[in-house]
C-alpha cells in the first residue's frame, strides 16, 4: 500500500461484538440512570415511560432496516451523510452531516459532566472532588476536582481511540458487558425483594413537577397534580416518546465505522436490533426499579435526589450503590468511547469530500485511525467539564433533533435507492416509508409547541442553541462551498 492510500484508508479491525458494544454503549449513557428522577418519572411515570420506550424501540427497529439495507450499498465511513450525498446531493448531505455532528459530538461532553455526579453520589459526605476553586453555571456548581477528573478521562479515551480501533473496541466491549450485567442484577434484586410494590409506582403516568413544586406539595398531595384522563396520558407518553431519537441515538453509529468491519454486512441488522433491545430494557428497568423500590418517589424527585441510586441502596444497601456506580460509570465511559468514534469518523468522511478542512481526512500511518479528527473532538469535548452538567442538559434536545434528521434522510435515501436498483421487497419499502413518517413526527414533536401537551417540545434554551447551530452551519457551508 502506497503512502497516499495509507493516509486515507481505515483498517478493518472491528468484530460483531465490538460493533454491538459500540452501539449499546452509545444508546445507554448517563441519562438512563439520572433521568428517571429528572425527566421520566415526573413527565411520564412508570407506565408512560415504559410505553414510550417500547414504542420508541419499535420505531428504531423499523428505521434500522433502512440502515441495514444502505450499509452494504455504501460501506464507507460517514453513514447517513454518505447515504444522503449519494441520493440527494451535496447540500442535503451537508445538512444531514452538520446535524449529525450535533447529535454525536454533544454526547461526549454531556457524558463527561456526569462523572462528577457519579463520584458525588457514591462518596456520601466525603466530597472528594469538591476541592479547588468553584463557580456556578445555570444553577450547577462546578469544582476544580470534577474538572480535572472529567478532563483526564476525556483525554485517556481519545488516546485509546487514536492508538487503534481494535483496542478501543475491546475496552468498549468490557464496559458494555459490565453495564448489562449490573442492570440485570439490580433488576433481579428488585423482582425478588419484598420492598418493591406496585402501589409505590403511583402516580403511574407521572405528575406536573413544576406545579407541584410551586405549591409545595408533598406525600399524597402530589396526587393532585397527577397526569389523568386521556389528554394527560397522551401527554405523558409523548413527553418521553418525543426524545426517543436521543434515547436510542447510538445504534446508528454502526454505519460510521462500516469501513472498519471485518465481518459480513449481512449481520448489521441483527446487531442493531439486539443493541436497541438491550437499550430498551435498561431504560425501562431503571425507571421501574427506581419507582417500585421507593414509597415516596415523587418527594424524592421534588427534592432533587438521585432516585435510582436511593432505590438501589434501599434494595441492596451499599452493594446497591456500588452496583449503580459500576453501571453508570460503564454507561458514561462507553458513551464517551462510542461517540468519539462516531464523531471522528463522520468528520473524516465529510473532510474527504471537501465539507471540512482536509486535515480531518488524514489517517495516522501507524495506527490507521483519523487522528486529527479525534483530537478535534477531544478539544471540543473538554469544554463539557468547564460548562457543567446543567448547561449541557440542553444538548439532549440538540442530539434528538440531529438524530431525527439523520434517521429521516436515511429512510428517504433507502426509498430512492430501492427505486433506482429495484432490488428490495415491498416490505422493506413499507419500513422505509414508516421510518420517514416517524422521523418527521419526531421533528414536529420536538420543534412545534402543541397545545395541551406539556414537556414535549424544546425548552427556550434549546431553541436558541438550535438557531445558533443553524447560523453557524450556514456560515461554514458558504465558506467551504467552492471546495466541496
Confidence of residue 9 (pLDDT cuts 50, 70, 90): low
Q: Of the given ranges (204-208, 234-238, 385-389, 442-446), which has the lowest mean pLDDT? A: 385-389
β-pairing verdict for 134-137 and 140-143: antiparallel
Number of helices (H) and strands (E) in the chain: give both, helices first: 23, 2
Kindly state the cell numbers that stand for 110.
454531556
User: If you average pLDDT over every residue of the chain, what do you get?
Assistant: 84
What's the half-sphere exposure (Cβ side, CA atoms, 13 Å) at 323? Answer: 25
Residue 233, number of CB atoms within 10 A of its CB: 19
Residue (of 23, 115, 52, 56) closest to 287 by Cα position: 52
Intra-chain end-to-end CA distance of the chain, in Å = 27
DSSP structure string for 423-454? -S-HHHHHHHHHHHHHHHHHHHHHHS--TT-T
Name the residue ranges covered by the structural domains of the chain.
Answer: 3-483
Per-residue pLDDT band at 461 (split at 50, 70, 90): confident
| Nearest Cα residue to 287 out of 211, 190, 212, 207 | 190
Residue with the three cell numbers 468484530: 15
Distance CA 182, CA 474 (A): 44
What pLDDT, on the 0 to 100 scale, is given for residue 128? 81
Fold (topology level) of 3-483: Amino acid/polyamine transporter I (1.20.1740)
- Weakest mean pLDDT among 18-22, 135-139, 320-324: 135-139
- Per the structure block, which three cell numbers stand in for 136? 456556578
Question: What is the CB neighbour count within 10 angstroms for residue 331?
Answer: 32
Amino acid at each position: 500500500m502506497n503512502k497516499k492510500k495509507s493516509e486515507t484508508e481505515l483498517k478493518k479491525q472491528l468484530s460483531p461484538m465490538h460493533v454491538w458494544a459500540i452501539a449499546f454503549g452509545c444508546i445507554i449513557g448517563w441519562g438512563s440512570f439520572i433521568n428517571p428522577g429528572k425527566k421520566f418519572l415526573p413527565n411520564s411515570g412508570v407506565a408512560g415511560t415504559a410505553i414510550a420506550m417500547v414504542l420508541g424501540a419499535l420505531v428504531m427497529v423499523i428505521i434500522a432496516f433502512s440502515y441495514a439495507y444502505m450499509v452494504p450499498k455504501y460501506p464507507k465511513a460517514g453513514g447517513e451523510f454518505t447515504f444522503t450525498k449519494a441520493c440527494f446531493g451535496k447540500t442535503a448531505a451537508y445538512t444531514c452531516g452538520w446535524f449529525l455532528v450535533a447529535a454525536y459530538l454533544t454526547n461526549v461532553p454531556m457524558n463527561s459532566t456526569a462523572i462528577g455526579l457519579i463520584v458525588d453520589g457514591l462518596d456520601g459526605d466525603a466530597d472528594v472532588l469538591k476541592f479547588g476553586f468553584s463557580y456556578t453555571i445555570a444553577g450547577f456548581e462546578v469544582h476544580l476536582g470534577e474538572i480535572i477528573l472529567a478532563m483526564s478521562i476525556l483525554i485517556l479515551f481519545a488516546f485509546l481511540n487514536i492508538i487503534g480501533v481494535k483496542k478501543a473496541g475491546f475496552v468498549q466491549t468490557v464496559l458494555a458487558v459490565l453495564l448489562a450485567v449490573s442492570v440485570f442484577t439490580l433488576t433481579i434484586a428488585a423482582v425478588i425483594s419484598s420492598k418493591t410494590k406496585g402501589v409505590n409506582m403511583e402516580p403511574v403516568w407521572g405528575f406536573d413537577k413544576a406545579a407541584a413544586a410551586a405549591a409545595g406539595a408533598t406525600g399524597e398531595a402530589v396526587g393532585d397534580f397527577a397526569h389523568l384522563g386521556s389528554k394527560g396520558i397522551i401527554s405523558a407518553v409523548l413527553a418521553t416518546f418525543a426524545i426517543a431519537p436521543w434515547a436510542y441515538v447510538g445504534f446508528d453509529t454502526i454505519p460510521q465505522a462500516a469501513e472498519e468491519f471485518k465481518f459480513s454486512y449481512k449481520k448489521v441488522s441483527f446487531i442493531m436490533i439486539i443493541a436497541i433491545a438491550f437499550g430498551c430494557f435498561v431504560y425501562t428497568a431503571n425507571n421501574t426499579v427506581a419507582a417500585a423500590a421507593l414509597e415516596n418517589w415523587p418527594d424524592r424527585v421534588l427534592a432533587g435526589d438521585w432516585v435510582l441510586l436511593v432505590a438501589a441502596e434501599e434494595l441492596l444497601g451499599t452493594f446497591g450503590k456500588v452496583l449503580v456506580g459500576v453501571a453508570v460509570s460503564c454507561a458514561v465511559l462507553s458513551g464517551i468511547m462510542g461517540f468519539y468514534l462516531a464523531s471522528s469518523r463522520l468528520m473524516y468522511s465529510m473532510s474527504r469530500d471537501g465539507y471540512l478542512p482536509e486535515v480531518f481526512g488524514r489517517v495516522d500511518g501507524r495506527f490507521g485511525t483519523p487522528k486529527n479528527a479525534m483530537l478535534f473532538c477531544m478539544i471540543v469535548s473538554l469544554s463539557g467539564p468547564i460548562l457543567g452538567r446543567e448547561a449541557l442538559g440542553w444538548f439532549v434536545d440538540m442530539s434528538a433533533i440531529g438524530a431525527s434528521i439523520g434517521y429521516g434522510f436515511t429512510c428517504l435515501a433507502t426509498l430512492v435507492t430501492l427505486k433506482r436498483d429495484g432490488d428490495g421487497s415491498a416490505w422493506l419499502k413499507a419500513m422505509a416509508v414508516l421510518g420517514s413518517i416517524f422521523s418527521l413526527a419526531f421533528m414536529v414533536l420536538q420543534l412545534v409547541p402543541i397545545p395541551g401537551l406539556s414537556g414535549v417540545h424544546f425548552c427556550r434554551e434549546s431553541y436558541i442553541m438550535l438557531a445558533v447551530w443553524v447560523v453557524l452551519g450556514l456560515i461554514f457551508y458558504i465558506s467551504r462551498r467552492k471546495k466541496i
